[in-house]
A and B are shown apart, each in its own frame.
Chain A
């Protein structure tokens, strides 16, 4: 027998790892990705591959030549950022814009802060918002959903339900179409059903807890519902709010990003309610038809504050008696 290892307790580890977490989230995104590929065809394939590959490549290069640290691309987080970015883009966006978005996401939003775990803002969202501000037209002309669409840059475009609501034109898709994803939009945001499957998978795998997604969705539903009750002519129904735009994708996959969301259930609820309120405010009163990305980024900025002042339920603190 060789020398015995001496180390403090505990002497066993649960076997969880960063790459397992990232892989599980990627798997949870597969349904949404498949729906995107179905409705947006060729463009969706090109945009997704470009975003994933360039994110991994940029992380590798920055790690190797600038930070000179141990290589982190195997942890899967760069691939996940790429995938999330792609799912937040229209499928008819030019390639070079996707590459710029990836560079901003990885280079500026993630690596310049020291890599995974240190970035205050969600990298994929920073990439998306950067593109939205720089190339507003390309970022808001959405292709029409056509099964196995063979066209890429020249795809026929369609307005999103939110834009229709805001400017009061066009015929809104049916609720069922909204639920399944048969509408214009970013390539991963259209199908509520696919995103809910992803949510359930994440909850079962204990990757996230219900606090953030549910508090966002409930807040949006209530707030939009109140507006709608006050003036149904002017304000869209809460169901349309829930089922359209990037809300579902944002609530399930973007707001729940580990690094940029609060560190305990109470904080998560505050965070989720904040995102819900800001989203509805922007959608109804702001200049953009969609506000989920901005809402999440704004609440990302509040995360450190939430973590400082909202603490987990301590043992011995008054707890509810229930058997």
Chain B
């Protein structure tokens, strides 16, 4: 079975919510819809206090190239446009809406009927994706239409669908595949149409045999779509790793996938694209996994964007007693949250409760030079060395040792027998070196 060729780890999978039906949580009384995205410029509010909005109505307009439209996920009254603490730990602009009923814009098809035909021209498809505010759901929340518009002179030969879900605990993509397989395949066809490619690969790790089987069977009716089962290994969901696993091509340092003739989209994004193009439905909800070793009800939940995570947690049985840390996202790359009083954003993949004893890092010891961090690094870096150099502010050396290639997967810190906080230091070094590189470019 295929997998990527450098490094990798295999943490305990702990996918407690695998195979659980997606449950829709009750509509909250109030939502706080973030206007900002993890990257790029925040969107500009186009409503004001007191306005009545419907589900799917535009409330924030994309502001610049790397930005996305924001739509109301509920119907009701805008109470204010203000800042709100979000999952990144910063206060950022958001729209506060008091929920009244559940009234959708008329042009949205909210039924679950499958719409197969798509005869729209390429430009119209792209416009719908852009209008619907679709961003990548794999974590980086990069606007989808930008990714689907290769830079001039570059042409994709294939598209890769990231259905790897390599993070332990998370099962939201898995759940979506089991319930929306047909829609996902239609979404892939649409993407193939836009990129004008004949070939699409769906990369799924072997720990999801039901999804592999289902999609492989259905894919027989769609020419050019192939399901590729992958050997379980983290971080296979990393773009560069996934391309290496499927195409045996390695995207060079500092370059993007189109360099090797491909584009990668997350499977959740594909479903959102289907809904945007075929059902005229903007990105107003997503699937969130709520899980953890002591979680009372590990499961996959369909949540309106802007729902407070605390409400979702309550619906999912409440926060377990022995929780020491709450992570937004997966255990390897998610962020630890100060509080659950933050809104669900387009990029929120999960709530993970970490038990007290696992929350506290063990004491740091000397590096015993075991090379395990080097062995597991999927980018072929030397984490022990980068950490040493970061500690000593050796920025040029860090740059020469390719610190900017680090994808922050955390495999090094996870593996180190001396509990060294390798990624903490590397991340700090990356920020500094990145600044130095940008300054140099300006001069």
Residue of B nearest to A77 (CB): B368
- Give Cα A16–Cα B319 distance, bound, in whole angstroms: 29
Q: Are B414 and A314 touching (Cβ within 8 A)?
A: no
Residues of A within 8 A of B339 (CB): 4
Would B379 and A314 count as touching, CB distance under 8 A? yes
Q: Report if A16-B416 is in contact (Cβ < 8 Å); known contacts: A5-B324, A314-B253.
A: yes
B219-261 Cβ-contact flags toward A at 8 Å (1 or 0)? 0000000000000000000001000100010111101000000
Q: Are B413 and A18 in contact (CB under 8 A)?
A: no
**Cα distance A258–B358 when bound, in Å?**
28
In the complex, the answer to whether A323 meets B248 with C-beta atoms within 8 Å is yes
Evaluate contact between A4 and B337: CB separation under 8 angstroms.
Answer: yes
Is the C-beta of A118 less than 8 angstroms from some C-beta in chain B?
A: yes
Which of A13, A16, A315 counts the most chain B CB atoms within 10 A? A315
Query: What are the residues of chain A within 8 A of B334 when measuring CB–CB?
Result: 9, 11
CA distance A311 to B403 in the complex (A): 13
Instruction: Tell whether, in the assembled complex, residue A117 and residue B367 are in contact, meaning their CB atoms are under 8 Å apart.
Output: yes
Least CB distance from B293 to A in Å reads 11
Whether the pair B369, A17 counts as a contact (CB closer than 8 A) is no
Let me know if B321 and A1 touch, CB within 8 A. Answer: yes
Complex contact B365–A75 (CB within 8 A): yes
**In the bound complex, what is the Cα–Cα distance between A314 and B370 (angstroms)?**
19
For A314, give its contact among B321, B371, B384, B402 (CB under 8 Å).
B402
Min CB gap A12→B, angstroms? 4
A108 to B6, CA, bound (A): 39
Q: A161 contacts the other chain (Cβ, under 8 Å)?
A: no
| B146 partner residues in chain A, CB cutoff 8 A | none
Contact A12 B11 (CB under 8 A): yes
How far apart sit A316 and B374, CA to CA, in the bound complex (Å)? 16
Whether A20 and B375, one on each chain, are in contact in the complex, defined by CB atoms closer than 8 angstroms, is no
Contact of A14 with B415 at beta-carbon distance under 8 Å, contacts A6-B336, A263-B384 already known = yes
Assembled-state Cα–Cα distance A139/B388 (Å): 40
Q: Are A5 and B360 in contact (CB under 8 A)?
A: yes
CB 8 Å contact bits of A1-28 with B (1 = contact, 0 = none): 1101111111111101110110000000
> Does residue B191 face the partner (Cβ distance < 8 Å to A)?
no
Main secondary structure of the interface of A (DSSP, over half): loop
Contact B366 A323 (CB under 8 A): no
CB distance from A116 to the nearest CB of B (A): 5
Evaluate whether A312 and B382 lie within 8 angstroms (CB atoms) in the complex, with A4-B325, A319-B5 already known.
Answer: yes
Chain B, 174-213, CB within 8 A of any chain A CB: none
Assuming A314-B379, A323-B2, is B405 touching A18 (CB within 8 A)? no
A168 sits at the interface (CB 8 A)? no
Q: When each residue 291-304 of chain A gets 1 if its CB lies under 8 Å from chain B and 0 otherwise, what string results?
A: 00000000000000
Instruction: Pick the contact of A315: B6, B365, B382 (CB < 8 A).
Output: B6
Interface size on B, residues (CB 8 A): 72
Shortest CB-to-CB span from B88 to chain A, Å, is 12
Complexed CA–CA distance, A206 and B415 (Å): 12
Give CA–CA (A81, B249) in the complex, Å.
45
In contact, B338 and A4 (Cβ under 8 angstroms): yes
A13 and B410 alpha carbons, distance in the complex (Å): 10
Which among A2, A16, A118, A313 is the interface contact of B417 at CB below 8 angstroms?
A: A16
Q: Once the chains are docked, how many angstroms separate the CA of A76 from the CA of B371?
A: 19
B94 contacts the other chain (Cβ, under 8 Å)?
no
Q: How far is the CA of A161 from the CA of B362 in the complex (A)?
A: 49
Q: Check B374–A263 contact: CB distance below 8 A.
A: yes
User: Are A258 and B370 also in contact (CB < 8 A) when A12-B11, A263-B382, A313-B380 are?
Assistant: yes
Contacts of A258 in B (CB 8 A): 368-371
Q: How far is the CB of B405 from chain A (nearest CB, A)?
A: 7
Choose from A209, A261, A314 the contact partner of B375 (Cβ within 8 Å): A209
User: Shortest CB–CB separation between residue A269 and chain B, in angstroms?
Assistant: 13
CB <8 Å contact, B368 and A319: no
Instruction: Say yes or no: B366 contacts A117, CB within 8 Å.
Output: yes
Q: Shortest CB–CB separation between residue A4 and chain B, in angstroms?
A: 6
B366 close to A116 (CB less than 8 A): yes
Q: Within residues 365 to 397 of chain B, which ones have a CB less than 8 A from any CB in chain A?
A: 365-372, 374-375, 377-382, 384-385
A209 CB contacts on chain B under 8 angstroms: 371, 375
Q: Is B85 an interface residue (CB 8 A)?
A: no
Contacts of B360 in A (CB 8 A): 5
In the assembly, what is the distance between CA of A14 and CA of B416, in Å?
8
Q: Are A7 and B417 in contact (CB under 8 A)?
A: no
Which of B244, B319, B325, B427 contacts A7, CB < 8 Å? B325
- Alpha-carbon gap, A11 to B11, bound state (A): 12
Given contacts A263-B374, A315-B6, A315-B379, contact A9 B410 (CB under 8 A): yes
Within 8 A of B (CB), among A254-313: 258-259, 261, 263-264, 307, 311-313
Could you tell me if B380 and A315 are in contact, using CB atoms closer than 8 angstroms? yes
Residues of chain A in range 54-112 having any CB-CB distance to chain B below 8 Å: 75, 77
Which of chain B's residues has its CB closest to A318's CB? B250
A114→B385 CA distance, assembly (Å):
18
Contacts of A10 in B (CB 8 A): 331-333, 410-411, 413-414, 423
B424, CB-defined interface residue at 8 Å? yes
A316 and B414 form a contact (CB under 8 A): no
A321 at interface by CB-CB < 8 Å: yes
A258 to B6, CA, bound (A): 21
Q: Does A317 contact B (CB under 8 A)?
A: yes
Which residue on chain A has the smallest CB distance to residue B336? A6
| CB <8 Å contact, A4 and B369 | no
Residue from the list B244, B252, B415, B427 in contact with A16, Cβ < 8 A: B415
22 contacts between A and B (CB under 8 A): A1-B319, A5-B359, A6-B337, A7-B325, A8-B423, A9-B327, A9-B410, A10-B423, A12-B331, A12-B354, A14-B414, A21-B417, A114-B366, A117-B367, A263-B374, A264-B374, A264-B382, A312-B382, A314-B405, A315-B253, A315-B380, A316-B255
| A interface with B by C-beta (< 8 Å) | 1-2, 4-14, 16-18, 20-21, 75, 77, 114-118, 209, 258-259, 261, 263-264, 307, 311-317, 319, 321, 323
18 more CB-based (< 8 A) A-B contacts, given A11-B332, A116-B366, A316-B250: A1-B323, A4-B339, A6-B325, A10-B331, A10-B413, A11-B354, A17-B362, A21-B368, A258-B370, A259-B368, A263-B384, A312-B374, A312-B382, A314-B380, A315-B380, A315-B405, A319-B5, A323-B2
